Amino acid sequence: MSDLPTVIEPDESVSLRDYAEKAYLDYSMYVILDRALPNVGDGLKPVQRRIIYAMSELGLKATAKYKKSARTVGDVIGKFHPHGDSAAYEAMVLMAQPFSYRYPLVDGQGNWGSADDPKSFAAMRYTESRLTGYADALLGELGQGTVDWTPNFDGTMDEPSVLPAQVPNVLLNGTTGIAVGMATDIPPHNLREVVTATIRLLEYPKSTVDDLCEHIQAPDFPTTAEIITSREDIKAFYRSGRGSIKMRAHWVKEDGAIIIDAIPYQVSGARVLEQIAAQMQAKKLPLVSDLRDESDHENPTRLVIVPKSNRVDIEALMSHLFATTDLERSYRINLNLIGNDGRPAVKSLDTILREWLAFRTETVTRRLQYRLEKVLARLHLLEGYLVAYLNIDEVIHIIRTEDKPKAVLIERFGLSDAQAEAVLELKLRNLAKLEEMKIRGEQDELNLEREQLELTLGSTARMRTLIKKELLAIADRFGDERSSPLVQRAEAKAFSEKELMSTEPVTVVLSAKGWIRAAKGHDVDPESLSYKAGDAFSLAAAGRSNQSAILIDDTGRAYTLPSHNLPSARGQGEPVTGRINPPTGSSFKALLMGDEKDKVLLASDAGYGFVTELGHLMAKNKAGKSVLNLPPGAQVLSPALIPAGDDLLVASVSSEGRLLVFPLSDLPELARGKGNKIISIPSARVKTREEMMTAVAVLTPEAKLVLHAGKRHLSLKLQELDHYRGERGRRGSKLPRGLQNVDFLVAEHPSVS
C-alpha cells in the first residue's frame, strides 16, 4: 500500500464507521426520493416519469403509431434511467394494465398480462406501446415554461423533475412502494370525485376532510367488486393518512349456482378457485359439489360455484368463503409521498389536495408568465416591424449600402438590438411585403391577450377560476362513473367444524356393557346388531351426523359425544369410557340426539322433573356435567322428547297404577336442577322404593297415549284422558284393573302412527 499515491489528505480522512453510515444514509435517501415514493405534483415515481417523458419525446402520443416497447425502454435506459431494462419495462407494464391502473398512462399491443396473472406479460421485444389520451393530462403543458429541468443520471441532458400534471394523479392511479424504513400504499380514486373535491377546497380553503369526503366517497379500484369498509373508517384513514380498506367479490345467484362476476383488486380468480378446491379436497367444504371458471373476453370474471343441493344456505356459504379465501381482501392504506418541500411524509387527504393545489397554482402561474413574456417579446418585435414598414425605402437602402446596417438602423430609428436583429433576419422580399394592417391586427390581438394574462396573474380570484375551468375540462374529457360500489355488509364468518359436517341420518347405539357405535340411516334395528358375548342392546337414538349424542347416567350427569366420529356399526364399537369419564359403577339411563334448541322433559322416579333444551345438556369436558338432581332413593327416568306444537300435555304414571295428565306449561324450563313435582309420591315411600313414578310422556292434543303393562296395552284419546286430568303434583286417578302395573308410555302422534 505504501507505494500507492495518497489521494485523500490527512485532514479529509474519515473513519470506516462514519463512511459506512454516510453511505447507507445516502443510499436510503436515494431510494426514498428517487425510486420508491411518488411526488405529490404528478403522482409518479422517477422511473415512471422518465418513461412517460421519453415516450412523449419519441412522439408516441395517443394518435401516433405503436412502437416496439424494446425501443422505447432502450431510449429511457440510454438517456434517463440508471437501472436495468427489466425494471423499466415492469414499471411500463404496470402503467399499461387497466386492471392495475385506474387511468392507464400507456396503451399497449401484445401480451401485457392479465388480471388473473399480472406478471405473465411478454418480453418487451414482442410488445408495442404508445401513450394513452389521459397521459396528456400530465404532458400537455410540458413546453410552456412549467417545468424545472434537472440533469439526467450522466449529466448529458436535462429531464423534468416533476411533470406539470393538470389533475391530482397521485390519488387517481395510486401507487405502492417500499423504501428504507418506510412504505407507501396509495389506493386509486375516481377522477370526477377527486376533481369535485379539489374544486371544493379551491373555493373553500378551510374545508375539512369530512367536507371533502362528501365528494370523495372512498377509493375507486379498477374492479366492480364491493368496498365494504364503513364510511367512518374510510374518513378515519383520510384524516390520519393510515388505515385499511376491505373489498369483497360481487356475486349473483343464477339457476341455483353462485356466479362471481367481480373479484377484489389484484386478486387472481384462478387462485380463488384453488383455495376453494383445496377446502373441498380436505373435505372441509361438503356444501359445494362443483367449481368452474367460465371467464372469457365478454365476461373477464365469471367463477361458478355449484352448491350440493338447493337446501344449502347460500348466504352462509358465501360468508364462509369470504372469511377463508381471497374473495374478501383487506388493503393497507399509507398515504406517504414526497411533498412540495421535497420531503417524504404521511399526509391526510386535505393536506395532499392543498399541496397539489399549491403546485398547480405555481404551474399555471409559470405557464401564464411564460406566455406573457412571449407575447411581450412579440409585441416588441412588431413595433420594430412597424417602424421598418413606415420607412421601408430607407430601411432597404441602409441594408443594401451599409457595411454594418444593424448599428445604423438602431441609431436612425431608435430600434432595440432585438428589433434590429428581427428586421435584418427578414429577407428583403419579405420586408417589402410587410403590411401595416396585418402588423396592427396582430398587435391588437396580442395586446388583448396581454391584458387578459396580466389581469389573471394579478388576481387570485381569476387564477382560481382558471384552475377550476381547467380541472372541469379534464374531468369532462377523462372522467367516468365510479367503478367500485360502496356497500355495507355484515362481517364474514367462517363455518365452524360442526357446521361443515355432513348431515347424514345416523342411529347411535349403546350396549349394556357401555360399547358405543353409529349406524348410517334411521331404518336400523339396534337389537339385531351383533354384540360381544354377555353383552346386549341397551339404548339407541336417531339423529344426524352433525348432531351430538347426549348420554345421561344414573347419577344425573350428562355427557356429550360428537356422532360423526363414532365407530361404524359394522363392528361392535368401542368402550364409551375411552371418550368420557363417568363415575365408577355408574350406568347409562338415557341416550338423546337432536338440535340444540330441541326440548326434552327430564324426570326422576321420585316424581320431579323439568323442561330443558338439549343445548343445556351438552358438556365440553369428559367428566360431563350434573343436570338432574336426584332426591334420596330416586333414579333417573327415560327422558321424554317434546314435540313441536301448542297445548302440549304431560302424562305420568306411578307404580301404584295412578295416571295424571296436566298441561306441559305448568312445568318450569330450567338448565339444571331437581325440577318441580309432576305426580305426588311421599318421599318416605321413594326412599324405600315402595312407590315411584314409572314413566312420563309428552303428547299433543291430537295424539293417543298408549300404556304398556306386560303383554297388555291401552290406547287413550284426548277425550278419554279427561278422567285423568288434574293439577300438577296431584296423586292422579287409578287405571283399570290389569293395567295398573305400567311398564312404559308411548305417545302416538298422527304423523308417525
Contact of 528 with 568, CB cutoff 8 Å: no
Q: What is the DSSP string of 318-347?
A: HHHHHHHSTTEEEEEEE-EEE-TTS-EEE-
Look up the pTM and report it: 0.75
| pLDDT value, residue 691 | 87
Q: Which residues contact 598 (CB under 8 A, 6 or more apart)?
A: 613, 614, 641, 642
CA 620, distance to chain mean position in Å, is: 35
Instruction: List pLDDT tens digits, range 346-367.
Output: 999 999 999 999 999 999 999 9
For residues 41 and 721, what is the distance between their CA atoms, to the nearest angstrom? 90
What's the alpha-carbon Rg for the chain, to the nearest Å?
Answer: 44
pLDDT of residue 721: 84
**What percent of the chain is predicted at pLDDT more than 90?**
56
Q: Quick check: is 126 catalytic?
A: yes
Closest CA to 607 of 661, 652, 651: 652
Computed over every residue of the chain, the mean pLDDT equals 90
Q: CB within 8 A of 56, min separation 6: which ones? A: 131, 135, 139, 142
Q: Do residues 215 and 479 touch, judged by C-beta distance below 8 A? A: no
Distance between CA atoms of 243 and 239, rounded to whole angstroms?
Answer: 10
Alpha carbon distance 723, 698 (integer Å): 17
User: What is the helix (H) or strand (E) element at residue 149, kind and residue range?
Assistant: strand 149-151
Q: What is the pLDDT of residue 499?
A: 67
624: how many CB neighbours lie within 10 A of its CB? Answer: 24
Compute the distance between CA of residue 597 and CA of residue 616 in angstroms, rounded to an integer: 9
Residues 415 and 431: their CA atoms lie apart, in Å, by 16
Sign of CA dihedral 175, 178, 182, 183: positive
Active-site residue identified among 19, 24, 27, 126: 126
Cell of 298: 365478454
| pLDDT above 70 coverage of the chain, percent | 97
- Positive or negative, the Cα torsion across 104, 109, 111, 115? positive
Greatest CA separation for the chain = 157
Q: How confident is the model at residue 9 (pLDDT cuts 50, 70, 90)?
A: low
Mean pLDDT for 160-178 is 94
Residue type, 33: L
In degrees rounded to 5, what are phi and psi of residue 647? Answer: 55, 40
Alpha-carbon span 596 to 613, nearest angstrom:
6
**Cβ–Cβ < 8 Å for 638, 698:** no
- Rounded to an integer, the average pLDDT of 54-60 is 93
How many whole angstroms separate alpha carbon 179 and alpha carbon 184? Answer: 8
Predicted confidence (pLDDT) per residue in 330-340, tens digit: 999 999 999 99
Q: 29: which residues sit within 8 A by CB, 6+ positions away?
A: none
Dist CA 227 CA 221 (whole Å):
9
Q: What is the pLDDT of residues 456-515, one digit of tens each?
A: 999 999 999 999 999 999 999 999 999 999 998 888 888 777 666 667 889 999 999 999
| 635-663 per-position pLDDT tens digit | 999 898 888 888 889 999 888 888 899 99
Alpha helices (H) in 458-575, listed in sequence order? 460-478
Q: Give the model's confidence band at 4: pLDDT under 50 very low, under 70 low, under 90 confident, else very high.
A: very low
For residues 736 and 110, the model is more confident at 110
pLDDT reported for residue 6: 46
pLDDT at 428: 67
pLDDT band, very low/low/confident/very high, at 111 (cuts 50, 70, 90)? very high
Sorting pLDDT into bands at 50, 70 and 90, what band is 10? low
Q: Supply the pLDDT for residue 498.
A: 65
Q: Give the span between the Cα atoms of 505 and 594, in whole angstroms.
A: 11
DSSP H stretches of helix in 594-700: 614-617, 683-687
Q: Cell match 352433525: residue?
A: 546
Question: What stretches of 241-308 show up as alpha helix (H) in DSSP?
Answer: 269-281
Q: What is the pLDDT of residue 5?
A: 47
Q: How many CB atoms lie within 10 A of CB 554?
A: 16
Distance, CA of 435 to CA of 425 (rounded, Å): 17
Q: What is the rounded distance in angstroms from the CA atom of residue 105 to the CA atom of residue 136? A: 9
Other CB atoms within 10 Å distance of the CB of residue 462: 13
Q: Which sign does the torsion angle of CA 5, 11, 17, 22 carry?
A: negative
Examine the pLDDT at 1 and tell me if it is beyond 60.
Answer: no
- Identify which of 468, 420, 432, 566 has the alpha carbon closest to the alpha carbon of residue 196: 468
Q: What is the pLDDT of residues 282-328, one digit of tens each?
A: 888 888 999 999 988 888 899 999 998 888 889 999 999 999 999 99
What's residue 191's pLDDT? 96
Nearest CA-CA partner of 675 in 637, 732, 646: 637
**pLDDT one-digit tens code per residue, 555-586:** 999 999 988 888 988 888 999 998 999 998 88
pLDDT at residue 2 above 60? no
Quick one: pLDDT at residue 686? 86
| Residue tagged 357446521 (cell numbers) | 499
In this prediction, residues 159-177 reach a mean pLDDT of: 94
- What would the mean pLDDT of 31-45 be, rounded to a whole number? 90
Q: What share of the chain is helix, strand, coil (3-state, %, to 5)?
A: 35, 25, 40
